[in-house]
A and B are shown apart, each in its own frame.
Chain A
Amino acid sequence: MFERLIGFVILSSSVPTVSVNGRLITVERGTPLDVAIKKAGFRGLFRSVKFGRLRDIMDDSYLYPQYKCVYVNGYGFVNPLSFQVEEDITVIIDRRASFGSTLSGKLPFFGVGFQNSGLIRTGFGWKIMRRMILSSANLPKYGGEKVVRPESGRLTTDILIVGGGPAGMGLAQALLEKNLDFLLVDPNPTLGGRIRYALNFPQLRRALNFDAEGLAKIIATRRIVGLFTGLYEEGVGLVVGQNRILRVEFSRLVYANGSKCPPPLFAGNDSPGVISVDYALRLRHFGVLTSPVVFYVEDEWGEMVYRALKDDLLPVLVSPLDLEDKVASHIKQVRLSSKELVVTLDNGSRVKVKYVVYSTLRQPNLELPAQAGFAYSFSAQRGKIVCTEAEGEPSSNTPVLLAGSVTGLYELNDAFRHGRAIGYTLSGDMDSALKLVPPPTVVHPSTTGVVHQDAFVCFCEDVRVRDFVLAQHKKLRGSEKTKRFTGWGTGVCQGKLCIANGMRILGDGPYTQRLPTQPTPLAWLASLGDETSEL
């Protein structure tokens, strides 16, 4: 059910009826829900960012209530910007929804993503456009307001869990049981992630059969309230809370922060097809992981994923472990040639593949330098794939894992089991872990369906499907160029709300995400250093 929340659906014939808070209208099949809602007489539910910025768009729950205010019977809470009407539906809108500017609907060039304004030739038109942009009414103004000086501090733990939804809680429960040292970060006063929405909707809650409150109590002593903003070169992370900012050191990091989040793991890296097992699961989920593939399996978790995917992908298995169907023990070198990776194995053979799926608790992406085209090779000494052309290395290589729906695969109870499985894996109890690995549900998104040109892809930067089409016409293909042309994913949400939409349309992998994955006040960042004393 939840899978449909972000999906574009294939169109069929008859005219659906939409009931919006009791008002009945009919719309063309495939109409984006925000358009339908406007048609029903609810004005400008979503503001254009440039001309009506919603400042606090970011946090998954209390900070972007505007995305949670539309409830569709049978679907749950949906984001109307990327939801298309395919059948008769009943919509309930929370009246607290913000009513913003409708400018973007009236003046098409304002709605096409800022960057496209480059298509307006220079000269007089550009001067006027520039003035309009500069004086655009609804950007927040700064100056004279009170600066909140946060409390800053440091924390150290062995395992840091990012996200207190079902996956994070499952993981925390397993680690608690095994007596390992961990902390869990979540911005919400109540743990439970998306399960919390079920609290207001009793049927949903009953269907889930999940004791969020009980668990939250158990792990209450191990949690930090705040948002994790990403892993820095130094191998440390920041947690930004209501009134404080913490520098957190850890030896292992598990992202369990939900399906709306792109794997923050890739922040700051451009990875050319050398990907982690967790990421492989995600790409397959979006239907873009294609054979041929080399699997490098170094641990039990990787083995589990290999087993789950092998029938589909028929991968070449490389592993130092004693595994039945393995072809070689190590990868000697991975080199990018045009569009494919040429992998040399230690038995001398060479294979050409699209992806090298690297299974290890140590995610290789964190140490791959940003440029594709570097050569990678397996370093027996360091026990991992390293870049042979980069001279420097980041100061630290922190092992990172993904748990739950951040992989794009699991929901609710399955995510809970997945989290527990990782927890047991980390504690070394493989038997318990193996029993818990949920089979990945293969969902092939319907990229073949007709997508409404006005459907939003990215709300922060006002990017619609038509902008993607324009990029294609301009021969700017692939995620990186489309991102730069349209501005897709470069707004304050940093792709959390839109990366999946774009990947489906393009059938391409993700672009590079940037730190911090949560916008953080400059004063808070400054408070972490020595230079503040001079202020």
Chain B
Amino acid sequence: MKPVNSNIEYDVAVIGAGAVGLATSYHLASKGMRVILIEKNYAGSGSSTRNAAGFRVHFNSEHNVKFMVEGRRRLVGFGGEIGWNPIIFDSGYLWLLSTEADLQEFKRLNTMWSSLGVGGRFLDTREVREVIPELNPQGLLGGFYGPQDGTFHHDLILFGYQEKLAGMGVPLLESSPVTGFNVSSRRVRSVLIGSKEIRAERFVVCAGAWSPQVTAMLGVSLPITPERRELGVTEPVKHFIKPFVISLKNRVYFAQGLRGEIRGGVTDMFRKGYYPLVSSLEWTVAYAARLIKTLPTVSNVRLNRQWSGYYEVTPDHSQIMGAHPSWPEGLFVAAGFSGHGMMMSPLAGELMAEYIATGRIPDLMRPYSPERFDENRLIDEAMVF
């Protein structure tokens, strides 16, 4: 095949312009590297415009907590650095606990969280209802409140990076699905978009749920499975739900955005595989019922919009960042954020860029190497909903 752009060479070609790909490209370009970003559809068309836009430091795994303690700083600092305010709302997360077992579990976790400086507060039923008086107290044992957590708006993160990249002259090729690679002497030489060839030194796959499709073109299989999740938004109503609420018993989560809309989903209904991103009635009915059960006062509020998107799930519900010795040289992956990649993206991009630019794995990133799956060093992450 005759290269179209044989004279242009890049230091890094980033594949996938979701939050992670955009952040990675931005940080690479800031380090003076020549970067090109390749996107199948339009920037953000994957999961990054379809999420609930919550952020939290409270995870089950210590690694993830540490990652997000730092990640949270990047989110909060985003407006100052990039110039677009991602509408950060430090509203806190409120877990509604209904069983003694849940309570004990959170007590155990809070010891770990406190040791990392992000302990939260246990609330009794009365205190929970001081936060949101409208909550249904039935069967409620209490709550756990994480004041370090909150919500933001994903679109503004994406816009901010896009504007920065345009300003730095980084090409963003949209409507350009990667269709293959050229490899010689075990080194990836170029990436193909149909008949167009782009040569680069390194290739970072940030294709979210589609990453296994991209690496499969190099014979590399990645343990990432798409799970179709649905999400709904109501019409705007006067603001009355401050925190991001998760009811373990009713298997529902919700938050109220600054526009007044209540957005949320259910925690246990999804389809595994690349299912069409349409909306199902089954989900709609379940979500409505569970939301009302948790917050009866919203019965009359109308559901306004719903959509679906893929979680990109790995066996240990944590991202894959780095390279593997068995892969062709020049291939890197930052994907598989398992339903919490939006909040992690600014930091993830920074760490990936640092790694690629210096060859040294930053400490925060070390646990997420792709080698953990064959070395049985899985990350203990169960707090995904």
The answer to whether A367 has its CB under 8 Å from any CB of chain B is yes
Q: With the chains together, A53 CA to B236 CA distance in Å?
A: 9
Please tell me if the beta carbons of A122 and B79 are within 8 angstroms of each other in the complex. yes
Please tell me if the beta carbons of B45 and A392 are within 8 angstroms of each other in the complex. no
Which of B42, B289, B290, B293 has most A Cβ within 10 Å?
B289
The answer to whether B84 has its CB under 8 Å from any CB of chain A is yes
Binary interface encoding of chain B residues 162-179 relative to chain A, with 1 for a CB under 8 A from any of its CBs, else 0: 110010000001111100
Contacting A371 at CB < 8 Å: which of B40, B166, B303, B307?
B40
CB-CB contacts below 8 Å: B263-314 with A: 271, 273-282, 284-293, 296-308
Please tell me if the beta carbons of A519 and B277 are within 8 angstroms of each other in the complex. no
Looking at A5-13, A140-148, A205-213, A217-225, the stretch in contact with chain B turns out to be A140-148
The answer to whether A336 has its CB under 8 Å from any CB of chain B is yes
Please tell me if the beta carbons of B307 and A268 are within 8 angstroms of each other in the complex. yes
Are A339 and B175 CB-contacts (below 8 A) given A121-B85, A130-B258, A526-B292?
yes
- Of all chain B residues, the one with the shortest Cβ separation from A471 is B159
Please tell me if the beta carbons of B45 and A371 are within 8 angstroms of each other in the complex. yes
- Of all chain A residues, the one with the shortest Cβ separation from B86 is A118
Q: With the chains together, A238 CA to B298 CA distance in Å?
A: 20
With an 8 Å Cβ cutoff, the count of chain B residues facing the other chain is: 83
Q: With the chains together, A515 CA to B228 CA distance in Å?
A: 16
Please tell me if the beta carbons of B274 and A392 are within 8 angstroms of each other in the complex. yes
Please tell me if the beta carbons of A522 and B281 are within 8 angstroms of each other in the complex. no
Q: With the chains together, A140 CA to B258 CA distance in Å?
A: 14
Looking at A14-22, A84-92, A444-452, A479-487, the stretch in contact with chain B turns out to be A479-487
Q: With the chains together, A122 CA to B239 CA distance in Å?
A: 21
Please tell me if the beta carbons of A481 and B156 are within 8 angstroms of each other in the complex. no
CB-CB contacts below 8 Å: A101-133 with B: 114-115, 117-123, 126, 130, 133
Are A114 and B84 CB-contacts (below 8 A) given A371-B41, A516-B303?
no
Contacts of B279 in A (CB 8 A): 232-233, 267-268, 514-515
Please tell me if the beta carbons of B276 and A535 are within 8 angstroms of each other in the complex. no
Are A139 and B236 CB-contacts (below 8 A) given A126-B79, A394-B278, A525-B285?
yes
The answer to whether A467 has its CB under 8 Å from any CB of chain B is no
Please tell me if the beta carbons of A140 and B177 are within 8 angstroms of each other in the complex. no
Please tell me if the beta carbons of B284 and A367 are within 8 angstroms of each other in the complex. no
Contacts of B86 in A (CB 8 A): 118
Q: With the chains together, A55 CA to B234 CA distance in Å?
A: 12
- Of all chain A residues, the one with the shortest Cβ separation from B81 is A122
The answer to whether A190 has its CB under 8 Å from any CB of chain B is no
Please tell me if the beta carbons of B304 and A519 are within 8 angstroms of each other in the complex. yes
Q: With the chains together, A160 CA to B278 CA distance in Å?
A: 21
Report 18 cross-chain contacts, Cβ distance below 8 Å, ordered by A residue. A53-B236, A115-B156, A117-B258, A118-B85, A122-B88, A142-B300, A233-B281, A337-B194, A338-B175, A370-B276, A371-B45, A392-B276, A478-B42, A484-B44, A494-B305, A519-B235, A523-B299, A525-B285
Task: Enumerate the 9 nearest inter-chain pairs by beta-carbon distance, A residue then B residue, closest first.
Answer: A370-B277, A122-B79, A519-B302, A392-B275, A529-B285, A531-B289, A525-B288, A373-B40, A526-B289
